[in-house]
Amino acid sequence: MNLIIAAVFIIISFFAIIKIKMFGANGIDKKWFLFAFSAKLFSAICLWAIYSFYYGDISKADIFRYYNDSQIAYQQFGKSPINYFKIITSIDGNNAQLKPIYMQMNNWDKPDSSQISSNNKFIIRYLCFLSLLTFGSYFAILIITIFLSFTGLFWIFRFFYHKMPNKKWWIFAVIFFTPSVLFWTSSILKESIIIFFIGLVLNCGNFALKKRNPQIRILMVLLAFVAIFQIKAFVAIALLLATVAYIWNHFHPRQMAFISYFVVFLIIISIGAESSKFMKRSVYQMIIEKKVEFVNLAIADKSNSLIEMPNLDATTFSFAKNTPKAIFNVIARPWIWEAKNSLSIMASIENILLLILIFLAIFYYSHHKFNSNLFWFCLAISISLFALIGLSTPILGAISRYRVIPLLFFEIALIQLIDMNKLAFLKRNKANK
């Protein structure tokens, strides 16, 4: 029955992509978008198979554990619909009657969670709501999530495509076929949902700046930011800061684009440095605690991808000193000789491809004028998130997944620097030989 329900949602998804005019772009046949969605379905099957048959204990796998918790809440729909709606809406969500239900869940409320780290409640509520529409079918929920992720990726593609139409195939390849992006946004994971909301921010925000129904679209952007903040606060903060700088440059195009990004991020770093004066724990302390939490988890699970990281102090100097290495670890590791399983091998191969892209951006740099505001927007998001991930995450396996979102923007930034005419010239030379 579960597979039948899932098959119905697959058919609906393909039908929507074919019939909805939004899913298209000049110069790219719609069949390529159908192929991209099919690739996500295939990736989802591979990820499900890896965690089901290779890793063994599926109760600890992220692609299952949030779903398992959501089913505990979903059972309340038959027992007590009022409790069910309290859980998914958060209205009177702290009622004492709900505490026994929350206690059955393994991931609802972590005592070590902080505002700067991820929150599990949003995704559990999301899965609980979809369970009502799919009769609790895991695979049907998976298909819906993949479709939302695909929609988010398409919106991101459309945003950059309109800014750089001459590089549409590069943008298409990076957004839909970067291995980790394809893989980790094709399952019931936070990254899949965040990608949808980031796409919503870029799509609606772009139309709002063009003054096309700005009131409604600004409201959609704000709601998307709230959702991202509920899932992963630090992603929302990085995206918000870059967006503020981007909008400032949009309305002040004559100034150097870099200045607004530098000022905005300098202000937030200064606030973070002084956060101990108005918060129970400083932002620095939260990051250090997250790192310690990861180390303890890696030791408990006997992880073989734990990497050595320098000790951090809750000071600006300590964080500034260790940030370059943190960024490097996220971009370049795992090395091919550090790969211990199929997922880490994929990550190491992806790193080689990323290094090639960096090489092209350096040696085939475009001297023609490009959209500097767009470049710094992408770079600000990617570098800030690379730094946060690198400083707080000492596990290579986790790094490979958490970097999905900043990696996407980093690759787009690199693409903007590459002179495609130089690459085409090399291809013609090779053909003539």
pLDDT reported for residue 114: 52
Least confident of 236-240, 291-295, 386-390: 291-295
DSSP, collapsed to helix, strand or coil, labels residue 369 as coil
- Return the closest-CA partner of residue 127 out of 178, 87, 167, 169: 87
Taking residues 292-299, report their average pLDDT: 83
Where does residue 88 rank: exposed (0-12), middle (13-18), buried (19+ CB within 10 A)?
Answer: buried
Report d(CA 119, CA 235) in Å as an integer.
Answer: 12
At position 258, the amino acid (one-letter code) is F
- Return the closest-CA partner of residue 283 out of 114, 120, 405, 119: 114
Report d(CA 63, CA 61) in Å as an integer.
Answer: 5
Which pTM was predicted?
Answer: 0.93
pLDDT reported for residue 432: 52
Is pLDDT at 350 greater than 60 in this prediction?
yes
Q: Specify the DSSP class assigned to residue 54.
A: I
pLDDT digits (tens, 9 = 90+) for 90-106: 888 888 889 999 999 98
Is pLDDT at 310 greater than 60 in this prediction?
yes
pLDDT digits (tens, 9 = 90+) for 149-169: 999 999 999 999 999 998 999
* Percent of the chain scoring above 70 in pLDDT: 94
* Percent of the chain scoring above 90 in pLDDT: 60
Residue 90 φ/ψ, nearest 5 degrees: 70, 10
pLDDT digits (tens, 9 = 90+) for 118-132: 789 999 999 999 999
Which pair of tokens denotes residue 133?
A: 């529409």
Per-position b or e across 172-211, b if 16+ CB within 10 A of its CB? bebbbebebbbbbbbbbbbbbbbbbbbbbbbbbbbbbeee
pLDDT reported for residue 113: 46
pLDDT reported for residue 145: 98
Taking residues 9-25, report their average pLDDT: 93
Where in the chain are the domains? 1-231, 254-433
- Return the closest-CA partner of residue 40 out of 165, 201, 196, 225: 196
Q: How confident is the model at residue 427 (pLDDT cuts 50, 70, 90)?
A: low
pLDDT reported for residue 335: 86
Residue 163 φ/ψ, nearest 5 degrees: -85, -30
In whole numbers, what is the pLDDT of the chain averaged over residues?
89
Q: How confident is the model at residue 176 (pLDDT cuts 50, 70, 90)?
A: very high
pLDDT reported for residue 201: 98
DSSP, collapsed to helix, strand or coil, labels residue 171 as helix
Per-position b or e across 319-354, b if 16+ CB within 10 A of its CB? beebbeebbebbbebbeeeebeeebbebbbebbeeb
Is pLDDT at 424 greater than 70 in this prediction?
no
- Return the closest-CA partner of residue 383 out of 287, 279, 241, 223: 241
Report d(CA 246, CA 375) in Å as an integer.
Answer: 10
Using CA atoms of 195, 379, 396, 174 in order, give the dihedral in degrees to the nearest 10: 60
- Return the closest-CA partner of residue 140 out of 70, 237, 77: 70
Is pLDDT at 2 greater than 90 in this prediction?
no
What is the maximal distance between C-alpha atoms in the chain?
A: 77
pLDDT digits (tens, 9 = 90+) for 42-94: 999 999 988 888 766 676 788 999 999 999 999 999 889 999 999 999 888 88
Q: Which residue has the higher pLDDT, 409 or 92?
A: 409
pLDDT reported for residue 154: 97
Cβ pair 327, 383 in contact under 8 A: yes
Cβ pair 198, 156 in contact under 8 A: yes
Which pair of tokens denotes residue 68?
A: 């398992």
The residue to which tokens 């990820």 are assigned: 47
At position 183, the amino acid (one-letter code) is F
Is pLDDT at 231 greater than 90 in this prediction?
yes
Where does residue 273 rank: exposed (0-12), middle (13-18), buried (19+ CB within 10 A)?
Answer: middle
Report d(CA 361, CA 354) in Å as an integer.
Answer: 11
